[in-house]
């Protein structure tokens, strides 16, 4: 019994020890060895508000930090750091770990690893974590930051051909252009095909000789030694520092089917362009053909390369036909069945020389041009017209004149254009509008869902405008009538309405005897005086005014007015009264008249004084 009790106690002790060891292994950092930190000045400073404690860090030194000789980055800007030992490592966990790891790799690891590279990367890490950066002495920080972030954004983008299969004919070279433009970052990690692979920028060149075989070629963006676990180093009351590592190497794969002699070959051409495409809007690459047997079962497919060529996998004896399932860029999908036959295994089937012209119809486009008034839209202003403008259509790549059109009913169009970049230029403005010297670019892009693409360009025209300046003048002196206002109305002969300015339809001359309208559109107008200046006669006839752009912006009209007294002198004939001559000495008739006048005067005076006395 005592022995059994002893064994039970020993079992309990062992269980406790094992439990403690398990908990210790789980809770204590995986590497208990303390690490040493060394600081060096990078020579650069910054000012910012810390994301950890909210304090302003004024003109602080950006330190280069190495933990046991490895470059590490601070993730706690508000805490101090010293050259010292005692840092404890553990795995770094954060929702921003992947982003920060990529910044550390592209900002520092993949560079010359200078102090400037380190300082730039450190600041960007702080910003991502929430630092409010106010200033830095790094001269190119903002530009370098954008370059790093651009690489970070592209890190997870794969080449456009990733995990796809291409067919490579023995002895031929195939060029794959990466539409995502990141293939230049790739390195080959394995190649079991024996295919020669070279890179030209983002283009991948593949060439198979007689020893080449089908298989796959593997690539990676990041070396294996840069992939691993990110480690954070902690020490009480000190900055936390991280040795960043990427989680994966960014792999890509290309499956290559090497065809030996004896397979079926297809050569795709365009009905109009043949094998020579006019521009990048057309391509022979990417046409997909299903291979169907005599029972209409789909037994394979062909996908053309950039030369319009494709090769099938080996097929058994029998009758087949090809049916296009996806047209390449710039072409319409064909529904034509292309029959062929394989008589025995290994025979070349002459699909290579088959011209599928009926199936390879190039997509064309229509360029439409719409003219509108810049202010009133489809309605022309004044006596101007949107019709009659002459435009020339040019191909942008060569400045070649394609066509000339005349605007009718506000628009014009050119049909049957190849897909390309174009531009419109106005050659002759319509009546009443200014000649537009601007170039209007547009492009006709491929659309597999329609037969003809169309692009409409709406051009806003500026109507010719001028002001009317009226000067009120005296018809005798020809000088302006000042400080004596005259009032006019201006009639728009196109609409029959009177022009309004500032809500009023009347215009009065100022103290200088003048007034000037705002800009009025191309057309004919009439100036009507409704109130003449004081002591001047109202002008009864309207004065025609034409705005046609020939007056350098201002049509000057001098309006002559006639004074009332002058007008009466000229227009009213005085009554003719016969008058007698004055008396001369010795003339008795004259003396008699004089005496009669004196008598009448004397009588009048007598009557006057008599009345005064009675009063």
Structure tokens at 440: 């209007």
335 in a structural domain? yes
| 111 and 117 Cβ atoms separated by less than 8 Å | yes
Is it the case that residue 1 has pLDDT exceeding 50? Answer: no
Integer-rounded Cα Rg, in Å, for the chain is 49
Fill in the DSSP letter of residue 332. P
For residues 2 and 221, give the distance between their C-alpha atoms in angstroms, rounded to a whole number. Answer: 68
Residue 603 vs residue 150, higher pLDDT:
150
pLDDT of residue 17: 41
| Cα–Cα distance, 385 to 407 (Å, whole number) | 10
Q: Which helix (H) or strand (E) holds 324?
A: strand 318-326
> What is the torsion angle, in degrees rounded to the nearest 10, for the CA atoms of residue 32, residue 38, residue 44 and residue 50?
30
Q: Residue 472: pLDDT above 90?
A: yes
In terms of domains, do 437 and 518 share one?
Answer: no
Taking the alpha carbons at both ends of the chain, their separation in whole angstroms is 177
State yes or no: pLDDT of 13 exceeds 70.
no
Kindly give, in sequence order, each residue whose CB lies less than 8 Å from that of residue 107, ignoring residues fewer than 6 positions away. 117, 120, 121, 124, 144, 148
Q: Please check whether residues 70 and 14 belong to one and the same domain.
A: no
Mean pLDDT of 577-596: 39
Q: Is 1 in the same domain as 26?
A: yes
| Mean pLDDT for all residues in the chain | 84
Burial 27-64, CB ≥16 within 10 A → b, else e: eeeeeeeebebeeeebebbbebbbbbeeeebeeeebbb
Q: How far apart are CA 47 and CA 160, in angstroms?
A: 42
How would residue 12 be classed by pLDDT, with cut points 50, 70 and 90?
A: low
Residues 233-242, mean pLDDT to the nearest whole number: 94
CA 584 from centre of chain:
106
Tokens of 336: 């034509």
Q: Please check whether residue 311 is in contact with residue 296, taking contact to mean a CB–CB distance below 8 angstroms.
A: no
Report the alpha-carbon distance of residue 70 to residue 532 in Å, rounded. 96
Domain count, the chain: 6
> What CATH number does the domain containing 403 carry?
2.60.40.10
In this structure, are 42 and 150 located in the same domain? Answer: yes
pLDDT at 33: 63
377 and 274 housed in the same domain: no
Q: Sorting pLDDT into bands at 50, 70 and 90, what band is 588?
A: very low
Strand partners, 57: 48
Q: Rounded to an integer, what distance in angstroms lies between the CA atom of residue 173 and that of residue 156? A: 29
State which residues form the domain around 404.
364-461
Judged against a pLDDT cut of 90, whether residue 348 lies above it is answered with no
Give yes or no: residues 279 and 380 share one domain: no
Q: Per mean pLDDT, which range of 166-180, 265-279, 365-379, 567-581 is the poorest?
A: 567-581
Would residue 596 count as lying in a domain?
no
* Residue 121, token pair as written in the block: 């990367």
- Do 42 and 138 lie in a common domain? yes
Give me 260's structure tokens: 């030996």
Q: Are residues 449 and 481 in the same domain?
A: no
pLDDT at residue 576 above 60? no
Verify that 375 and 446 share a domain, yes or no.
yes
Of 96-110, 268-282, 451-465, 533-547, the one with minimum mean pLDDT is 268-282
Burial class, 22, CB count within 10 angstroms (exposed 0-12 / middle 13-18 / buried 19+) = exposed
Pick the closest to residue 315 from 350, 287, 343, 296 (CA basis): 343
Domain C-terminal end among 407, 442, 461: 461
Considering the domain boundaries, does residue 471 fall inside one? yes
Task: Write out pLDDT tens, residues 104-162.
Answer: 999 999 999 999 999 999 999 999 999 999 999 999 999 999 999 999 998 889 899 99
Comparison of pLDDT for 18 and 76, the residue scoring more: 76
Question: 166-175, 182-191, 204-213, 304-313 — which is least confidently predicted?
Answer: 166-175
Task: Say yes or no: 453 and 383 in one domain.
Answer: yes
Query: Is 355 a domain residue?
Result: no
Task: For 389-438, write each residue's pLDDT tens digit.
Answer: 999 999 999 999 999 999 999 999 999 999 999 999 999 999 999 999 99
Residue 317 located in a structural domain? yes
Determine the Cα–Cα distance for residues 115 and 131; give it in Å rounded to an integer. Answer: 20
Q: Is residue 371 part of a domain?
A: yes
What is the value of pTM for the model shown?
A: 0.46
The C-alpha atoms of residue 205 and residue 184 are separated, in whole angstroms, by 12
Is residue 455 one of the residues assigned to a domain? yes
Percent of the chain past pLDDT 90, that is, above it, reads: 63
Q: Same domain for 453 and 560?
A: no
Asked if 137 and 60 count as a contact pair (C-beta separation under 8 A), the reply is: no
Domain stops at, among 119, 154, 189 = 154
Helix and strand counts by DSSP (H, E) for the chain: 6, 35
Same domain, 111 and 70: yes
Give the Cβ contact number of residue 167 at 10 Å. 23
Domain assignment present for 534: yes
pLDDT at 214 over 70: yes
pLDDT at 523 over 60: yes
Instruction: Give the pLDDT of residue 319.
Output: 86
């Amino acid at each position: 019994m005592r022995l059994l009790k002893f064994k039970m106690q020993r079992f309990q002790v062992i269980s406790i020890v094992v439990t403690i060891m398990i908990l210790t292994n789980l809770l204590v950092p995986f590497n208990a060895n303390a690490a040493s930190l060394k600081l060096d000045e990078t020579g650069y400073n910054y000012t910012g508000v810390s994301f950890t404690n909210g304090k302003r860090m004024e003109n602080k030194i950006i330190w280069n930090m190495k933990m046991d000789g490895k470059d590490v980055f601070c993730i706690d800007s508000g805490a101090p750091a010293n050259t010292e030992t005692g840092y404890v490592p553990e795995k770094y966990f954060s929702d921003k770990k992947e982003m920060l790891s990529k910044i550390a790799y592209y900002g520092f690891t993949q560079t010359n690893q200078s102090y400037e590279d380190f300082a730039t990367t450190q600041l960007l890490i702080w910003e991502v974590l929430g630092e409010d950066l106010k200033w830095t002495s790094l001269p190119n920080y903002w530009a370098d930051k954008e370059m790093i972030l651009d690489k970070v954004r592209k890190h997870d983008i794969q080449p456009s051909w990733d995990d796809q299969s291409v067919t490579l004919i023995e002895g031929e070279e195939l060029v794959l252009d990466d539409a995502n433009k990141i293939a230049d970052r790739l390195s080959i990690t394995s190649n079991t095909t024996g295919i020669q692979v070279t890179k030209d920028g983002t283009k991948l060149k593949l060439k198979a000789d007689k020893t080449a075989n089908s298989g796959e070629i593997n690539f990676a963006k990041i070396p294996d030694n840069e992939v691993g676990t990110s480690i954070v180093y902690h020490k009480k009351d000190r900055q936390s520092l991280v040795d960043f590592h990427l989680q994966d190497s960014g792999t890509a794969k290309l499956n290559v089917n090497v065809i030996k002699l004896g397979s079926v070959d297809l050569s795709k051409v365009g009905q109009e362009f043949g094998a020579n495409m006019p521009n990048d809007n057309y391509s022979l690459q990417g046409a997909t053909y299903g291979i169907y047997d005599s029972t209409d079962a789909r037994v394979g497919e062909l996908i053309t390369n950039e030369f319009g060529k494709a090769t099938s996998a080996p097929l058994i004896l029998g009758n087949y036909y090809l049916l296009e399932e996806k047209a390449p860029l710039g072409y319409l999908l064909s529904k034509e069945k292309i029959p062929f036959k394989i008589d025995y295994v290994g025979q070349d089937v002459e699909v290579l020389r088959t011209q599928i012209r009926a199936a390879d119809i190039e997509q064309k486009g229509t360029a439409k041009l719409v003219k509108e008034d810049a202010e009133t839209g489809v309605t022309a202003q004044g006596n101007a017209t949107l019709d009659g403008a002459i435009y020339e259509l040019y191909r942008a790549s060569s400045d070649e004149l394609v066509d000339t059109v005349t605007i009718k009913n506000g628009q014009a169009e050119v049909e049957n254009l190849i897909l390309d970049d174009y531009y419109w230029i106005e050659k002759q403005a319509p009546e009443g509008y200014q000649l537009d010297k601007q170039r209007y670019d547009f492009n006709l892009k491929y659309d597999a869902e329609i037969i003809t693409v169309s692009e409409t360009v709406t051009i806003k025209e500026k109507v010719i405008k001028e002001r009317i300046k009226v000067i009120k003048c005296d018809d005798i002196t020809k000088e302006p009538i000042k400080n004596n206002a005259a009032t006019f109305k201006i009639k728009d002969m196109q609409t029959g309405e009177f022009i309004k300015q500032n809500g009023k339809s009347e215009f009065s001359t100022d103290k200088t005897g003048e007034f000037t309208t705002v800009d009025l559109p191309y057309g004919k107008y009439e100036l009507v005086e409704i109130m003449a200046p004081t002591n001047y006669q109202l002008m009864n006839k309207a004065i025609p005014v034409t705005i046609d752009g020939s007056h350098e912006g201002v049509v000057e009209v001098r309006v002559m007015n006639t004074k009332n007294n002058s007008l009466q002198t000229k227009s009213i004939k005085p009554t003719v009264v016969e008058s007698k001559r004055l008396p001369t000495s010795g003339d008795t008739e004259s003396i008699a008249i004089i005496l009669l006048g004196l008598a009448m005067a004397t009588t009048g005076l007598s009557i006057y004084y008599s009345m005064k006395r009675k009063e």
